[in-house]
Amino acid sequence: MTHMARRFLCCLIPLGLLMPALPGVAADRPAWDDLPPAQPSANDWPWWRGPNRDHIAPPQQSPPVRWSATENIIWKAAVPGQGHGSPCLWGDRVFLPSSDSEAQTQSLLCYDRKTGRRLWQTELHRGGFVKLHRKNTHASATPACDGRLVFMTFVIQNAIWLDALDLDGRIVWQKRLGDFRSMHGYGASPLVYRSLVIVAADSMMKSFLVALHRRTGEVVWKVDRPSYDLGTYASPTVGRVAGREQLLLHGPYKVFSYDPANGALLWNCDGPSESASSTMTFGDTRVYSNVGFPKRNLLCIRADGSGDVTQTHVAWSKEGGMAYVPSLLLASGLLYMVEDSGKAACFEADSGKVVWETKLDGKFSSSPVLAGGHIYVVSEKGVMFVFKPGRQFVLEATNDLGDGGFAMPVILGGRIYLRTLQSLYCLGRP
């Protein structure tokens, strides 16, 4: 086996498989899986991309389509510092990460969901900020919550950390996961799966995926990932695809599917490019990978393979003009894309055929969200575009709150929770 081939294979460290069976744990469950699964309600947005990890809000709600600085504002709260992480909602609380570049601190904030009052702010790290891309911050990941703890990833002092806090802001545990070197900083969000919280640490050196026990912070499994000079910035996602649970992550130069229970590599596919910032999108049988540097490409892959599926399972692909940072939205057989420079497009998910294309004004880093029969997407200047899903593009409204926007909006209970550069808004009909 060549050195290059070894770089692309996972070096499995199945620590959890070596643990003895725990009392009360079913024999067919691994020893580490001793917690009940997180059970968010229909009115919770517990982690990045929502409860089903698909950018689709729970049904039967009617969020507003139009608002302004004086119309359909339920409350507005100041957010100190900087951060692009999206809101995480559980019960009556809203969690947001933030950083202070002058003091070099990283914190987690909590707001009352009904009033917008800040309940607490917990400082987690101080000193040793790393180099960033101009569009990144030191708090760009989105928190994840399992109902008892809130998890947040940060990079500081050239290392990646995972922090666990209770719902009142008390630190339960903190783990230094490993060294981290990047050209543009960090932005991958933690992922809750069964009794685990999974973190991607794609870096310029010694990249890895690691899964920790949610309550103790102990490492259950860890696998090596390929490293390149530019690095990748994508968050992992997990879903049931092609009849099995798959942990999906793309870049560099490959798409990877892992078994989320132990980190074993299920399959990989060449392409679409080196650096990824978006999160992969998945359907019942296929996955979609949009990667943006040095080339903007999009791959649709059948997800029932094993090993190297490059020559056998690519259903369709597109080159050029694809989204880099914004993730894709899949709904009712259609794939929606808002590209970084504003090109919006709709594809047939099975064939890749272009259904429509149009141009939205502005540049985009946030991803589209489907809620109440509308798609919402916010530009970097903070202008929210609202359009109809379907085979024709119908723009319903544009809304400008006069502040920038990099975070994805969260839509629950007929309300929109939107983080701008300076504030957190709750938008809704009075």
Pick 82-233's CATH classification: 2.40.50.140, 3.40.50.300, 2.40.10.480, 3.20.19.10.
2.40.10.480
Return mean pLDDT, the chain.
Answer: 92
DSSP H or E segment with residue 5: helix 3-7
Helix (H, G, I), strand (E, B) or coil at 373: coil
* β-pairing verdict for 196-201 and 208-213: antiparallel
Average pLDDT value for residue range 208-227 = 96
Amino acid at 354: V
Domains 59-71+332-430 and 82-233 share a fold: no
Residue 376 has pLDDT above 60, yes or no: yes
Helix (H, G, I), strand (E, B) or coil at 18: helix
Residue 289 has pLDDT above 90, yes or no: yes
Separation between Cα atoms, residue 79 and residue 118, nearest integer Å: 9
Domain at 59-71+332-430: CATH code: 2.40.128.630
pTM: 0.92
Q: What is the pLDDT of residue 244?
A: 98
Confidence band of 272 (pLDDT split at 50, 70, 90): confident
**170 within 8 A of 114, measured Cβ to Cβ:** no
Domain boundaries, the chain: 59-71+332-430, 82-233, 246-324
Strand-by-strand arrangement of the 354-359 sheet: 329-331, 334-338, 343-348, 354-359
**More confident position, 256 or 405:** 256
Q: What is the pLDDT of residue 184?
A: 84
Separation between Cα atoms, residue 184 and residue 336, nearest integer Å: 27
Residue 11 has pLDDT above 60, yes or no: no
Phi, psi angle pair for 36, to nearest 5°: -65, 150
The secondary structure of residue 215, as a DSSP letter, is: T
- Tokens found for residue 164: 């666990």
Structure confidence by residue, pLDDT tens digits, 330-356: 999 999 999 999 999 999 999 999 999
Class of domain 246-324: mainly beta
How many Å separate Cα 257 from the centre of its chain?
16
Structure confidence by residue, pLDDT tens digits, 80-131: 999 999 999 999 999 999 999 999 999 999 999 999 999 999 999 999 998 8
